[in-house]
Amino acid sequence: MTTLAAEPTAALAATGPTAAAPDSAGTDHPPVVLAELHDALTRRGMSLVEITWEQQRLHEARRWSVVEMLDGIDVARLTPLERAMVWNAGRAELTTKPGADRLERQADAECGRWQRSNPTVAAIMQACGTWSRYWNEEEAHHETAFNRLAALTGMEAIPDETFLEFRQVFPDDGMLRTLVLLAISEITAAVNYGQCRAAATDPGLRALFAQVAADEIQHRNYFLSFAKALVDSGEYQAKDAFAVAHLFLREDGELGGSARERVESRDTHVNWWDRLDTADSAAAFQPEASGRKEQLVCGALQKITGLTVRTAAEVEDTWMDLVGA
């Protein structure tokens, strides 16, 4: 089993660029993900203009160029394993655009639904929908970087039919459940890319995997921020966050991805973790590190709900307690 790369592991363990709340929405501090968004909107009285400014500053501070990153890779010398990792990553990243498009629409609809009954929840939804434009743009970097690189190395082309299949939009779900699922998806991606980086030898490709992993960690931090704010509002229940986490952590659950014995067949959308192709002998590398993912999902639940869990079994116990089973 390949171990995680040092940089992504360290970044995952840290809280990342988050903060309780800045003193102002000016430029007197580095841009952050607001870890205490509900508090920022209520007790601290931050406006949506100020919150959006914080999002814009962080997005700008983290921008990078796909063209320049690809220029730094020695394409002709990539190994079969490196090419297979890139090809899989490109296919997986095709599913992020429909995810971000859907989040934008759902957040907007939820904002309207809460506007009269709870303006703070409406503001959380709006902050989330507003941020989705940055998320979509950043995921575009991942998708195009990996797919362009796969094409340059002569990997099997992705037919338009597959492109369209991977673009199908996920069905709607409750907002808290959606945000928890997205946080877990980002955790899974970040750990996988950390493993890819460790398995790669080309310095330029290692830098690309490290950059994308860092982006996924930042996305996780945003999803945790929005999910925690919904729970803090009192309108959303911790049990829903635990229900989604249990779906991933249970035996033979979603976290097993394509390595599971039985992967659900769907005609509505594609879960990228179900579709990693590791059958080719050249791609014997399987990004798993399920223990690390379990630990990070437990940490995410703790941040969102304030309830401490350390293992998949504790997640199941707490979930059953919360639903009163």
Count of residues touching Fe ion (by CB under 5 A): 5
With binding defined as CB under 5 A, does residue 197 bind Fe ion? Answer: no
Give the whole-angstrom CA distance, residue 31 versus residue 19. Answer: 9
Tokens of 72: 């730094």
Closer residue to Fe ion in complex, CB, 83/142: 142
Window of 11-19, 117-125, 136-144, 309-317 that interacts with Fe ion by CB under 5 A: 136-144
**Helix (H, G, I), strand (E, B), or coil: what is residue 18?**
strand
Beta strands in 149-227 (DSSP E): none
Closer residue to Fe ion in complex, CB, 95/233: 95
Tokens of 260: 């599971």
User: Measured in whole angstroms, how far is the alpha carbon of residue 180 from the centre of its chain?
Assistant: 9
Decide if 175 contacts 110 (C-beta within 8 A): yes
Window of 114-122, 211-219, 221-229, 236-244 that interacts with Fe ion by CB under 5 A: 211-219
Closer residue to Fe ion in complex, CB, 142/293: 142
Site for Fe ion in 64-103 (CB under 5 A): none
Burial of 64 (0-12, 13-18, 19+ CB in 10 A): middle
Distant-in-sequence, close-in-space partners of 198: CB < 8 Å, separation ≥ 6: 2, 3, 4, 5
Site for Fe ion in 161-190 (CB under 5 A): 186
**Of the candidates 7, 150, 155, which has an alpha carbon nearest to the alpha carbon of residue 70?**
150
From the CB of 169, what's the least distance to Fe ion, in Å? 17
From the CB of 142, what's the least distance to Fe ion, in Å? 4
Closer residue to Fe ion in complex, CB, 21/217: 217
**Of the candidates 253, 268, 92, which has an alpha carbon nearest to the alpha carbon of residue 171?**
268
Closer residue to Fe ion in complex, CB, 139/288: 139
With binding defined as CB under 5 A, does residue 141 bind Fe ion? Answer: no
Task: Pick one of 83, 141, 142, 197: the residue that binds Fe ion (CB under 5 A).
Answer: 142
Give the whole-angstrom CA distance, residue 275 versus residue 212. Answer: 19
Task: Pick one of 36, 216, 240, 294: the residue that binds Fe ion (CB under 5 A).
Answer: 216
From the CB of 223, what's the least distance to Fe ion, in Å? 9
Half-sphere exposure of 200 toward its Cβ, with a 13 Å CA cutoff? 26
Closer residue to Fe ion in complex, CB, 114/209: 209
With binding defined as CB under 5 A, does residue 219 bind Fe ion? Answer: yes
Closer residue to Fe ion in complex, CB, 86/312: 86
| Site residues for Fe ion per CB under 5 A | 139, 142, 186, 216, 219
